[in-house]
Structure 1
């Protein structure tokens, strides 16, 4: 009976995905069908849904989404580009370096890879085209650099992971993701510069106007200070992650209205509407996933799948590589939050069997998902940047493969040297 119910649950889920159903619908419908047929308690569904989303850390999610939108629409991205350009100076591949650096700083504000990639590609594209960068190269570079946003705190996937995994704190994930996020961004600089040199493009035109470094710094200082305010407040205990999200929103509104004066009262409605739409979609998926999780855990489907994987090997290195391949492929198809909701019930028993640290495990899973976000054929970040750059995803393959290889190398380094992710949380007492 358990085996039949498990097959029905997983078969319904993957069948709905194959038919083109959204991930949330597939999770919810598959769970409801199995709960009804197997008699697992339909009347308990409202309670399960409520308990799935009525969690304090999830309050931070809509606020960080709103904070990211406030900063992106207040002109912070352009000022960060100006400062990074003045800092890097006129050199071949300079704007490629600028794009990566700006993505990393914006990632410390928004926590969303797709939003980060969209904002930076829109700002960087005209200048990069003037210096001869191919459109597919720009799309590939910014899509890959934008994926660092889910690693550099604040990270929306980290918040969801902490909700799904008992005993893992948001501050530990935020602090632990800092070095891997920086490492991932730095790894992209090597192929970015090498490709620019090999292709003989990316050299500034003679006499191209540059903003003086001090002037550019004064314009960007408010944006540069945002990650410091968020992380500093968390580290000192001045506020919780949820309160940090609220502080980030009001800080961004202050900068937009009174410092840069790029926001108007009429813009607030659009900001609230768009952020509410994104947050609602995420929370609906989380709510529907609790139905799927209830059905799967009651039937024993997740334990059975975990035991099947453990039966393949007792070597932790081989198991890590198997999980890496599975999550990387999944990351090409669906977003990070959906991957956590679908795969964590299966992967957590495996992590417990091998005694892996769950904070480190969450960070390497997120790194895998970040790579999948710009790996064709269904890369979310790459779709966004290709639309902005007006190029096909197929044309990016010769370029993006180098960035995939570079960040994969960084991810494997963190995978096999866990202290890279755990050093700062232990040093700061977050673990």
Structure 2
């Protein structure tokens, strides 16, 4: 039964059906083949989405929408410009730093790609050409799910169960996220010098940096308050997401004064659409997962993997290869929902640290958002830049290669991922 369910779902997804519908089709196939009572299916689907931790998803999405409408992009860009100074390819560096700042607010690569693209694409293109500009924006947007808060990490922690803490998973992304930023800045410098890109920006001034820091301080404090409160135990991740919304409203109405009551319906509408898509996938996937569970598919998969290797590092390498392929064809949320309940228990059985495996899983699928043919971030940036996916893929591959290199480093050196969570008691 499990094979037919997987084939129906994967076949539907690969031929381009909406992911929620593909999951539903897989669930129906499993129900019809197993004889499972149809009247129990709505109950299982409702129970899957009726979970307190999942409330954090719409709140974080709404907080990101509100902060963007509050005009934080301008402040982040001004701060990044002041910090970079006048260097070759300086606008590329500014885009990376702006992406880092934006990632601490939105936690979603697609939202960051849209915000960065609409703000930075034209200035970048004017100085550096369309291909390099689009690639830098796409790579910078991918910082969103790695640097906390991260919507992807929330979904992973929920699907993995009690063995993974959202706060611990958030902290696991801090050091790799900073390494990503440093690596991308270095790559921008190397590419700029190799291609002879022009100098951009104003001369560095410590006074200007301090001025922009004071101006942006209240915005930069949002992740400190939300993540610090979550890690410190002041509130749960779900409560922290509600705090983020209140903080975003206060910043928009009282600090930047760019947020208007007329902006709220649009922000809420975008939040509803995003949450509905994720919720539908979780509901349908719960039925598919249940079909696989009653057929003992996880146990069969574990036995098959252990027949190949008993070494935890080799197991993680095999999973990484599988996720590379999955990331090329499936949207990341669908992959979390389908694969985490299957692979996470097996990783624990292999003795792999749950936080370590969780971060590697998320990081791997985040990279998949930059790889064709189903690289969601690539499609967003291509739409904004009005260029084909193949062209942007030619320019983005050095960043993808660096991302996979860092993924390998995090796999071989667990301390890069686990040191900060362990220091915080996770």
Q: What TM-score range do you get, normalising by the shorter chain?
A: over 0.9
Relative to 1, partners in 2 of residues 1:59 and 1:271: Cα closer, same or farther, differing over 3 Å?
Answer: same
Q: CA deviation at 1:144?
A: 1.3
From 249, 257, 268, give the equivalent of 2:245: 249
1:268 maps to what in 2? 264
Cα distance in 1 for residues equivalent to 2:387 and 2:372 = 14
1:343 maps to what in 2? 339
2:131 maps to what in 1? 136
Give the 3-state SS of the residue equivalent to 1:375 in structure 2. coil
Cα distance in 2 for residues equivalent to 1:97 and 1:149 = 16
**1:253-278: per-residue Cα shift (whole Å, max 9, x none)?**
11111211111111111111111111
Give the 3-state SS of the residue equivalent to 2:144 in structure 1. helix
Relative to 1, partners in 2 of residues 1:202 and 1:56: Cα closer, same or farther, differing over 3 Å?
Answer: farther
Q: CA deviation at 1:208?
A: 12
From 286, 290, 301, give the equivalent of 2:297: 301
Segments of 5+ residues of structure 1 without an aligned counterpart are: none
Indicate conservation of the 8 Å contact 1:138/1:389, yes or no: no
Cα distance in 2 for residues equivalent to 1:332 and 1:406 = 17
Cα distance in 2 for residues equivalent to 1:80 and 1:205 = 15
Indicate conservation of the 8 Å contact 1:171/1:234, yes or no: yes
Indicate conservation of the 8 Å contact 2:64/2:106, yes or no: yes
The equivalences for 1:382-401 within 5 A come to 382-401=378-397
The equivalences for 1:375-414 within 5 A come to 375-414=371-410
Corresponding position: 1:317 with 2:313? yes
1:426 maps to what in 2? 422
**1:37-83: per-residue Cα shift (whole Å, max 9, x none)?**
31123232122112211221111110000011111121101110111
1:71 maps to what in 2? 67
2:40 maps to what in 1? 44
Give the 3-state SS of the residue equivalent to 1:148 in structure 2. coil
Q: CA deviation at 1:361?
A: 0.6
Corresponding position: 1:186 with 2:152? no
Give the 3-state SS of the residue equivalent to 1:239 in structure 2. coil
Cα distance in 2 for residues equivalent to 1:34 and 1:206 = 62
1:80 maps to what in 2? 76
1:116 maps to what in 2? 112
Q: CA deviation at 1:312?
A: 2.5
Q: May I ask how many residue pairs the two structures share in their alignment?
A: 425
Cα distance in 2 for residues equivalent to 1:86 and 1:273 = 35
1:159 maps to what in 2? 154
Indicate conservation of the 8 Å contact 2:90/2:201, yes or no: no
Segments of 5+ residues of structure 2 without an aligned counterpart are: none
Indicate conservation of the 8 Å contact 2:89/2:199, yes or no: yes
1:150 maps to what in 2? 145
2:360 maps to what in 1? 364
Cα distance in 2 for residues equivalent to 1:15 and 1:397 = 25
TM-score normalised by the chain length of structure 2: 0.94
From 405, 412, 418, give the equivalent of 1:416: 412
Corresponding position: 1:199 with 2:195? yes
Dislocated runs of 4+, deviation >6 Å: 205-211
Relative to 1, partners in 2 of residues 1:119 and 1:37: Cα closer, same or farther, differing over 3 Å?
Answer: same
Relative to 1, partners in 2 of residues 1:180 and 1:240: Cα closer, same or farther, differing over 3 Å?
Answer: same
Cα distance in 1 for residues equivalent to 2:293 and 2:22 = 17
Indicate conservation of the 8 Å contact 1:62/1:279, yes or no: yes
Cα distance in 2 for residues equivalent to 1:196 and 1:271 = 37
Q: CA deviation at 1:249?
A: 0.9
- What is the CA RMSD across the aligned residues, in angstroms? 2.1
Q: In terms of mean alpha carbon deviation, does 153-162 or 23-32 score higher? A: 23-32
Indicate conservation of the 8 Å contact 2:84/2:204, yes or no: no
Indicate conservation of the 8 Å contact 1:57/1:242, yes or no: yes
Give the 3-state SS of the residue equivalent to 1:154 in structure 2. coil
Give the 3-state SS of the residue equivalent to 2:121 in structure 1. helix
**1:342-363: per-residue Cα shift (whole Å, max 9, x none)?**
2123312431331111111110
Cα distance in 1 for residues equivalent to 2:318 and 2:198 = 39
Give the 3-state SS of the residue equivalent to 1:280 in structure 2. helix
Q: CA deviation at 1:207?
A: 9.6
2:227 maps to what in 1? 231
The equivalences for 1:11-30 within 5 A come to 11-30=7-26
From 220, 240, 252, give the equivalent of 2:216: 220
Q: CA deviation at 1:210?
A: 12
Relative to 1, partners in 2 of residues 1:242 and 1:84: Cα closer, same or farther, differing over 3 Å?
Answer: same
Relative to 1, partners in 2 of residues 1:235 and 1:202: Cα closer, same or farther, differing over 3 Å?
Answer: farther
Indicate conservation of the 8 Å contact 1:82/1:211, yes or no: no
TM-score normalised by the chain length of structure 1: 0.93
